[in-house]
Structure 1
């Protein structure tokens, strides 16, 4: 696999040179300062390229070109936003980019209740606490109709939890859940979040699935023409939140999308952390079956605190947690061998060590939550070690 590293631009407290020292050979980045719905300016794309080259690496993957809420709901300027998305693909291709990640999660990107939760050995990790989330929904956001989404036992636990919360805890909970895309300056106040939720009134899971297919029907032919693979990131976490539908949480969800727009350019960002939060997802088997359309991989591990869905979970160390990372990597390497034998130009799949626990000097660095320097370095080293062992000509898989 091609080892890459997410970098949020000059504001990132982990530099491109840090990434190179950690063992990455490519960078995953995006123009977070460009307004969602606008086409990315050629000059800004070129500037980001130069910023990455100055650190000694190359820009391999775009994560993400945001899909506007207007596109997801097919309201407002959604057609103009699709046109701009198509133009962004053309400009990225002209700049040498061949992989573009995006997501179709309504309103919220990845959602956590705690961005720096203390683990057993003092590291900091991101965590989703189901009871905290329900307490937020019912007692801070006061979402209309929210009580119908939870059973009585969970509602009672949430009420008890909320009664014991300090004002500081309540404020942090609202800020964490209302955060925007990673790396962006966006974020939602409670009134803004309620207003956005209202825009999805009447949009069912089936309607959102169709809106995704409509979007892909417009942008995939452009991606094909300019030689870019676009790849959808799964829902994180993989279950409905705040009454919003989720449409990329399981293998069946992905097959629905891939079969509806049956082009190799239309593919998957396989995130083991997002999909791994759902106990019913068999990740090695999913890799095996989705393999020809996997264009980008996020390798991270979560530990589920219950086996039900939804559940509480936290970001564990890369080789711990509930995902069999060795089996996942073995399937990915098998797919790379198949692609090489077929002569595919995209035979090497870009991967990055996703998220990571803050350890050692990370605890004072203050980097983007989930994206520490040393925690990701450790993760990349562990993942690279598995890959090297599985690929060894004498001892590895054949």
Structure 2
């Protein structure tokens, strides 16, 4: 797939030049938008609202998450990319560097609110100083905690932990309730789960996971070792649910919905799903070892397909999706996270202080930048999961040192 994408990159970059058709940006054009299944609902919500107020019409097609990268590669090879396509933001550096998205630097710089658009997402969609993609959806990692279990354990439900050490202390107190209650839970057999929930503590402590170019791993840092040590101790002591060791992702949400877990780092979008099961839930930032806070700014980026002949009309849609109207009345109304930091508190989120807290983390969090991120960190066959398993359940010191070398090698294959 990589070879196929690389082979067409120059052709796509050339095709993108002068791709605009003459005419107004909102001239009744039909635009195709591709997305992965995980983002389908939000993409369609954007499209429906835009279609209702514009002459242009956006048609959304979603593909299964696991099939989507290959679908894009095939379309790129045939020079038949859709007018717009979204992708997991960790793919953005790869797609931007390969020229799959058109250059929208000038258009983006002309936006009056450009400085408030999620900075880590904008960085992910930038290649060699040029902007190729903008934020489409945002997913954040946070601490979610069971307020009823907090009260039963003698903890204040309105005072979540402010350090990772305090998080461990709270988890231990809740675990002492006994029975089938556990202090915490994590995805110990899921590389993506661990990066999403452990890395913010590293960042909050002033550490880094990758170098600025995304070609050298820094996972053997003291900060990373200390973060893993906290979770390893909680597992060894039985404070973390034993199921954490085998958790590969599919039953992660269900564990928190059970009402038997005290506090755990998890996606912010799970808040409603957990409360729907009758679990009174608090939300707090993920803290660093001795303080600070951060988040993994995940979600999807979106750009204009490099072979599109409707780039002007496609930009009209992208600019609208970042507008006050779309971010407040489409995203915030659905309890989603706005892609703009200046809209963290809005008429919908302000009704729930937890949402304002989550939204405010966009400006403080990070999105890892690496061309070969997915194969290195998210693929179960990649070096990161092996590193995770060793750091949590094997020889911790050796796992991080050995893993750092393997991860760096993988990153440089991109």
Structure 1-normalised TM-score? 0.27
**Of the two, which has the highest radius of gyration?**
2
Q: Which protein has greater RCO, CA pairs closer than 8 Å, 6+ apart?
A: 2
Structure 2-normalised TM-score? 0.26
